[in-house]
Amino acid sequence: MKGIIVLLLGAGLACGAAAALTPSPFAVWLGAMALLCGAGGLLLLQRTVFGPVEALEQALRTGMLTSEMASGYGVLANLADACLISEKKLRQEETARQQGMEELARASSALHDRYELLSTSLTMARDSMRIQARNIHAISLEMHGEIDRLAGQTAPNSTDRLKSLLSECMKGFKSEVDFLDACLSQMDSLTADDNVPSMKQTPQNQEQPFVSWSDSLSTGEETVDSQHKLLLTYINKLHHAINSGRSDKELQEVLDALAGYAFTHFNTEEIIFSATDYPDREKHIQIHEDFKAKVASFQEALATGSANVDMEVLHFLREWLVHHIQGMDVAFGPWLTQKKN
């Protein structure tokens, strides 16, 4: 096609030059042939070059260029292929850049979660040490008074009273040490990189939360409320992951992180129950155990492929957690406040 266009345009120029040098009547015929060859060459040029250029420009502007279409641009087929390769490379770079931003967002969110967890653990440890210091001080004053009364007395019941006070002191001290040990263990687990939940997602901040904190969920105990708020954050993360079409493996990772922290929270509550002699602790602990068993059963079903992480699971977690906080945890808030005071 290129040869024909060049031939026609060359013939038109040659005939035009000959017509200018040739006398009539041959000049008329040569002029007509020049016009005919030139017009034919220009028409072919329009169809094979300018037309495909315009079509290629339109395809590039609208993003509709495909490998199937590239071969239909005639002499510009190679250029269309090059544009297609360049566009594909740009899309790959944009995808990689977007993935990098998402990974950065996940890492940032994970670091924020780690900070909240560590802050909660430090708060629990600080409050526990303050409470224990007051308890030991009170028992110490009582022991000093009892020792003063024992001076010059030989009544056996006084000795029994002293032994009882010592036993009570050791029991309370052991409970607080266990509590602090649990806090420190939780902090150790959070500082390990392998246990940091990989869930970051700034787009989550732009969508409506699946579950939100309200005053009806408050126990009045800052430490417990902080952990409850973080559990709600985990549920919102799982909701975002499901809506974002994450893979089953990623969804299971988020669910495992949520369940793991829920179990840690249960352990914290149970240590508090023991340290404060909460009267309904057995009933409360049994509810924790039932939830652990249900989650373990579901995780086993996920491992075998007989279940999926979907909205039904998410609704169960939300309803169970909100009901448990409002029904059980809020009830022991006043007890903890009374014990603190």
Cβ atoms 120, 227 nearer than 8 A? yes
* The pLDDT value given to residue 286: 93
**SS3 category, 31:** helix
* The pLDDT value given to residue 201: 42
* The pLDDT value given to residue 116: 67
* The pLDDT value given to residue 285: 92
Spatial separation of the C-alpha atoms in residues 158 and 259, rounded to whole Å: 50
139 by Cβ neighbours in 10 Å (0-12 / 13-18 / 19+) ranks as middle
Tell me the backbone φ, ψ of residue 207, rounded to 5 degrees: -115, 165
Cβ atoms 329, 269 nearer than 8 A? yes
Which DSSP helix (H) or strand (E) runs through 138? helix 77-150
* The pLDDT value given to residue 196: 43
* The pLDDT value given to residue 45: 66
Cβ atoms 175, 268 nearer than 8 A? no
* The pLDDT value given to residue 221: 79
Task: Name, in order, each residue with C-beta under 8 angstroms of 199's C-beta and a sequence gap of 6 or more.
Answer: 106, 109, 110, 113, 234, 237, 241, 253, 254, 257
pLDDT tens track, the chain, 341 positions: 667 767 767 877 787 777 777 777 777 777 788 788 878 777 776 666 666 666 666 676 666 666 656 555 665 666 667 777 787 888 888 888 988 888 888 778 767 766 766 666 666 666 666 666 666 667 667 766 766 676 655 555 666 666 666 666 666 666 666 666 665 565 555 555 444 444 344 444 456 788 888 888 888 877 788 888 888 888 888 888 888 887 888 888 888 888 888 888 888 888 888 878 888 889 999 999 999 998 888 888 888 888 788 888 889 889 999 999 988 888 888 887 787 66
* The pLDDT value given to residue 198: 41
Q: What is the DSSP letter of 211?
A: S
* The pLDDT value given to residue 202: 43
Q: Domains of the chain by range and CATH?
A: 2-92 (no CATH), 93-340 (1.20.120.50)
